[in-house]
Structure 1
Amino acid sequence: MNRRPEHLTAREEQILRCIRRWIEEHGEGPSVRQLADDIGLSSTASVAYHLANLEERGALVRDGRGWRTCRLVQ
């Protein structure tokens, strides 16, 4: 699935904004810990859960195994 989902939760939108900003500033995606810190979650498992959902729904893709290789689907 390569099209962006029409409805995302507020948390999913927040995560995507964070990823977009991080890539613009650093040239690569943030780590799960960096995302957790940036959006105010203490659990990296929660962030990984949201990332996996976003990937499954087609909002982002990974080029490798780690989340730092993620890129947003336009």
Structure 2
Amino acid sequence: MNRITPRQWAILEALRDHLAECGVGLTVRELGERVGLASSSSASHRLHRLEAARLLTRSGREWTTVTLTGAAVKLLAHRPLVGSRRVV
């Protein structure tokens, strides 16, 4: 994946925050609600794209078993801040 879209950044950040709080990933429906996606199908498609880009991995079939890869953690850590919002 050459470029991370604003929505993908939002998904990665939502997963990172939820994993830190709860220790498990969000369901597809919860993730869609958090980042403003209209359908669970859209959320699932975006998760599959991030998984194909090797930014996410799962230990089971469900998305609640998701973890961020080292590459995703590195991307999130190096994303510059502007004011209180991150630059895309």
Per the normalisation by structure 1, the TM-score is 0.89
**Moved >6 Å (runs of 4+):** none
Structure 1 vs Structure 2 CA RMSD: 1.0
Q: For residues 43 and 9 of structure 1, what CA distance do their matches in structure 2 show?
A: 18
Fraction of identical pairs, as percent? 36
**2:41 alignment partner, one of 26, 42, 45:** 45
Q: For residues 34 and 8 of structure 2, what CA distance do their matches in structure 1 show?
A: 13
Aligned length: 70
Work out whether 1:19 is the aligned partner of 2:28.
Answer: no
Greater relative contact order, per chain length (Cα 8 Å cut-off, separation 6+): 1
Q: Whose Rg is larger?
A: 2
Structure 1: where are the runs of 5+ without partners? none
CA offset digits 1:24-61 (Å, max 9, x no partner): 11110000011011111120000000000000010100
Per the normalisation by structure 2, the TM-score is 0.75
